[in-house]
Structure formats: structure tokens, C-alpha cells
Amino acid sequence: MAGRQIIEELNEVFCDVFDDPQIKIFEAMTAKDIDGWDSLNHINLIVAVEKRFRIKFTTKEIMSFENVGQFANAVESKLSHMAQKG
């Protein structure tokens, strides 16, 4: 799955989790950029992304995300790793 497609699918997840169809994510976006992105919704977001892409993040990975771009890169890396394992 290409980076652009991952961003598009992540955007759908963000819209669902935050119940806002107007959200347009961007790489430098952080929790400060979205109303309602608190610790509970952060957990909901991680769970929704894991389900959508059928991946799992470690706590260390989750704690390292500073913005949406890093989050998207981690999704892409996990998907690439899964594809290599075949």
C-alpha cells in the first residue's frame, strides 16, 4: 500500500473516530490541531487504526509518535514488513 493511500485511509479513520467528516489530516498535524483529541480518543484512534490495517503497535511505538506523519510512516512500515513476510 502506497503512502498516499495510507494517508487517505488514515483520514477516514480520523473522521470516524472524531466524528467529523471535515477533517483533513496532514503530516505535521498533532493532537493540538483537532478538537477532542484527548487521551481517550488517542486510544480509540490507535485501536481503530490497528483494526483498519490489521496491525499492532507496541507501547514504545505509540509513545514515539509526535505527529500524523510519523504515525503514517509507522503504518506503512508495518504493512511493508507484513508484505515481506508474505
Per-residue model confidence as pLDDT tens digits over 24-55: 999 999 999 999 999 999 999 999 999 999 99
Domain ranges of the chain: 3-85
Most distant CA pair in the chain, distance: 39
Report pLDDT for 83.
83
Q: What is the pLDDT of residues 56-81, one digit of tens each?
A: 999 999 999 999 999 999 999 999 98
Q: Is residue 29 left, alpha or beta, with left meaning phi > 0 and alpha meaning psi from -120 to 50?
A: beta
Topology (CATH level 3) of domain 3-85: 1.10.1200
| Residue with cell string 505527529 | 67
Residue 60, amino acid: K
